[in-house]
Amino acid sequence: HTPQEAVAHVRAKYEHFKGQIKTPEDFIRLAATKILLTGQPYLVRTRNGEEISLNIWLSNALREHREKEVK
């Protein structure tokens, strides 16, 4: 998928689960971990070409964001 298609898909999943999402971790667990129909993990390709699961990428980004807030 294109990045734009991927964003649209994850936004749609957010809309589906938004009543259950209270924290960023809830969003990652419910909407950004796996494809509901197949159970396959969502993968993203980083700028350096590495493929990583979306939930790990988002968890790392969230951790980095929180660390910057503390400083």
3-state SS of the chain is CCHHHHHHHHHHHHHHHCCCCCCHHHHHHHHCCECCCCCCECEEECCCCCEEEHHHHHHHHHHHHHHHHHC
Residue 50 in tokens:
């590495």
The pLDDT assigned to 63 comes to 97
Q: What is the pLDDT of residue 70?
A: 82
> How many structural domains does the chain have?
1
Q: Tens place of pLDDT for every residue, the chain, 71 residues?
A: 788 888 898 899 999 999 999 999 999 999 999 988 899 999 998 889 999 999 999 999 999 999 998 87
Expressed as residue numbers, the domain containing 58 is 3-70
pTM of the model: 0.83
Q: What is the pLDDT of residue 29?
A: 95
pLDDT value for 2: 82
